[in-house]
Amino acid sequence: MEKDTAIEVKNLTKIYKLYDKPIDRLKDSLGLVRGDRYKEHLALNNVNLTVKKGETVGIIGTNGSGKSTILKIITGVLSPSSGEVNVDGHISALLELGAGFNMEYNGIDNIYLNGMMIGFSEDEITKRLDSILEFADIGDYVYQPVKTYSSGMFVRLAFAVAINIDPEILIVDEALSVGDVFFQAKCYHKFEEFKKQGKTILFVSHDLSSISKYCDRAVLLNQGVLLGEGTPKKMIDIYKQVLVGQYPLPSAGDTENLLDDEQIREAAAKASDKADKKVDATNPDTLEYGDGAASIEEYYVTDDRGVRTNSIIKGSEFTVHMKVRFKQPVAAPIFAFTFKNIMGIEITGTNSMVEKAFLEPVDAGDVKDISFTQKMTLQGGEYLISFGVTGFEQNDFTVYHRLYDALNITVVSDKNTVGYYDMESTCKVEDAKA
């Protein structure tokens, strides 16, 4: 392993045995049965990965892609089925909420317990105790049994221990998703400090904005296969194709994993006819109502390549689509969509009447495809889109069909300003004139 390498993974494979019954596992471990009573699940398939010292690397992928498994093998929690892992540096890991903590002990006892498990002496932990408590900021609860903690308090304490023992390599698996926004900001500020100190950070997250903002490089796993690695923006772009089944998946060991832009467009065009009309981001609890004169049969979002997605890069162009079938004549239908944040506040939206795009009558049986194209200037985060077809019947406002909070959209951003949207300001600083 080279001197500037912190983590080296070579031909790593992990196979799990899946049993139908717990008794089958026991009998197999004791050698009491003939033949296989299990199915093999390939969690990691011939994965190779190198992380340089001082890098912040994010691992992304769908559920079940092997993200947590590779972290557990790197930290020694799991053993690989084949392959090898080499690590140069002292590791501190926060893998699962509660890992290494005794629920009956209080916070102080768990700090010492966890610190000693990592390899520190009691005196070394005592020297770091004040900084740990200050970072966790859970007050007198630290003297209460951990089983009484909320999930947020628990992760604050666990993370405070992990990052205040001066590790050379910090490994985190989705733990930050539990803390509140202020705690997350504190953690990422610590990430920045670590980077300046030349420490190595490897973390798994479904928060694509965090991957984009804080990582030097991103790694994309899918179904146990390393699909590719590169800049966060490039990997997130590929990940969006994977999410909607519009990216040809390579076989294990394929060195030419990533497609170029033209190949992605071709793959998207072939797959678009098969894409589910509501993608994967449909809200199962969508509020739906209307008088039945029209029906919204299809709704989805496409990115600047024309590919269906539920993730949009901030600053890029995207299009909101609706397909509406009319069951009755309507004098002047109005097609609309709105964006809400996760708190239910309407952020923005428009309709065909405001845009002066369509002011014509329709007949029963007519089908219309509607598209709204615009630039994404909302801050990074999660949003819900509502769709509607309305109009006026003898001056009375009428709802023909409305779908509230129907589709989830993630805005991926590496620069969030204050408020709901970015004014795209330009800033200039010059020497004052005498």
- Per DSSP, the three-state class of 265 is helix
Supply φ then ψ for residue 39, to 5 degrees.
-110, 145
The model carries a pTM of 0.65
Task: Pick the closest to residue 376 from 279, 306, 311, 321 (CA basis).
Answer: 311
- Rounded Cα–Cα distance for residues 122 and 114 (Å): 11
Burial (Cβ within 10 Å: 0-12, 13-18, ≥19) of residue 227: buried
pLDDT of residue 209: 74
CA triplet 395, 324, 348: central angle to 5 degrees? 70
pLDDT of residue 154: 85
Burial (Cβ within 10 Å: 0-12, 13-18, ≥19) of residue 190: middle
Bridge partner list, 145: 106
pLDDT of residue 244: 58
User: Along the chain (434 residues), what's the average pLDDT of each consecutive run of 10 residues?
Assistant: 91 87 77 73 92 93 88 90 92 71 90 82 90 89 91 83 83 68 73 84 83 88 90 83 64 44 46 43 83 95 90 92 96 95 87 91 96 94 93 90 92 82 83 83
- Rounded Cα–Cα distance for residues 282 and 336 (Å): 18
- Per DSSP, the three-state class of 239 is helix
Domains, the chain, ranges and CATH?
Answer: 5-89+168-243 (3.40.50.300), 287-412 (2.70.50.60)
The β-bridge relationship of strands 91-94 and 5-19 is: unpaired
